[in-house]
Structure 1
Amino acid sequence: MGRGDGSGRIVSADGADDSGAGILHVDMDAFYAAVEVLHDPSLRGLPLIIGAPDGRSVVSSASYEARRYGVRSAMPVSQALRLCPTARIVPPDFTKYRDVSRQVMEIFEQVTPLVEPLSIDEAFLDVRGVRRLWGSPGRIGAMIRERVQREVGITCSVGIAATKHVAKMASTMAKPDGLLIVAEADTLDFLAAKPVRAMWGVGPKTAESLESRGIRLIRDIRATPASALERAVGPALAVRLRELAEGRDPRGVDTSRVEKSVGHEETFDVDISDPEALRSEILRLADRVAGRLRRAGWETMTVAIKIRFADFTTVSRSQTLPEPTSVGQRIGDVARTLFDGIDRKDPVRLVGVRAERLSDAGGALGLWDDDADWRRVEGALDSAQERFGSGMITRARHLGADRGRGSAPHPKAHGLEG
Structure 2
Amino acid sequence: MGGSRERGVVAAASYEARKFGVFSAMPSVIASRRCPDLIFVRPRFEVYQAVSKQIRKIFHKYTPLVEPLSLDEAYLDVTEPLIGPPSATLIAEMIRNEIFEVTGLTASAGISYCKFLAKVASDINKPNGMYIIQPDAAVSFLERLPIKKFHGIGKVTAEKMKEMGISTGFDLKNYTQKQLVRKFGRAGAHFYRIVRGDDQRPVIPDRVRKSIGAENTFNSDLSHHDELLDQLYKICETVWKRALHSNASGKTITLKVKFHDFKQISRSKSLDHYVKSEKELREQVLKLFFGAEEDYEPIRLMGVSISNLNIPDERFNKQLQIPFKHRFHHK
TM-score under structure 1 length normalisation: 0.48
Identity %, equivalent residues: 39
Contact 1:114-1:126 within 8 A present in 2 as well: yes
Structure 2 unaligned residues grouped into runs of 5+: 209-331
| Aligned counterpart, 2:19 | 68
**Coordinate RMSD, CA, aligned:** 1.7
Where does 1:135-284 land on structure 2 (aligned, <5 Å)? 135-234=86-185, 236-257=186-207
Structure 2 CA distance for partners of 1:76 and 1:257, relative to 1, 3 Å: closer
Larger Rg: 1
Distance 1:101 1:132, change over 3 A: closer
Q: Distance in 1 between matches of 2:144 and 2:17?
A: 29
Indicate the residue corresponding to 1:99 in structure 2.
50
Decide whether aligned partners of structure 1 residues 110 and 128 sit closer, same or farther in structure 2, where only a CA change above 3 A counts: same
Q: How many residues align?
A: 208
Counterparts of residues 341-380 of structure 1 (less than 5 Å): none
Following superposition, the deviation at residue 54 of structure 1 comes to: 4.5
Paired residue secondary structure (1:210): helix
Larger deviation, residues 175-184 vs 53-62: 53-62
Letter in 2 for 1:248: D
User: Deviation above 4 Å: which 4+ runs of structure 1?
Assistant: none
How far apart, CA to CA, are the structure 1 residues paired with 2:86 and 2:190? 33
1:112 maps to 2:63: yes
Q: Deviations along 1:268-323, whole A, 9 cap, x unmatched?
A: xxxxxxxxxxxxxxxxxxxxxxxxxxxxxxxxxxxxxxxxxxxxxxxxxxxxxxxx
Shift of 1:153: 0.9
2:5/2:32 contact within 8 Å kept: no
Structure showing greater relative contact order (alpha-carbon pairs closer than 8 Å, 6 or more residues apart): 2
Distance 1:131 1:197 in 2: 36
The DSSP-based 3-state class of the residue aligned with 1:124 is strand
Corresponding residue to 1:58 among 1, 6, 9? 9
- Whether the 8 Å CA contact 2:139–2:196 is kept in 1: the answer is yes
Find the residue that maps to 1:101 and give its secondary structure. helix
Partner Cα separation in structure 1 for residue 46 and residue 183 of structure 2:
43
Q: Per the alignment, do residues 132 and 196 of structure 1 end up closer, same or farther by CA in structure 2, a change over 3 Å counting?
A: same
Aligned runs of 1:313-392 on 2, under 5 Å?
none
Aligned residue for 2:84, secondary structure, equals helix
In structure 1, C-alpha distance between the alignment counterparts of 2:138 and 2:202, rounded to whole Å? 17
TM-score of the pair, normalised by structure 2: 0.60
Instruction: State the shift of 1:83 in Å.
Output: 2.1
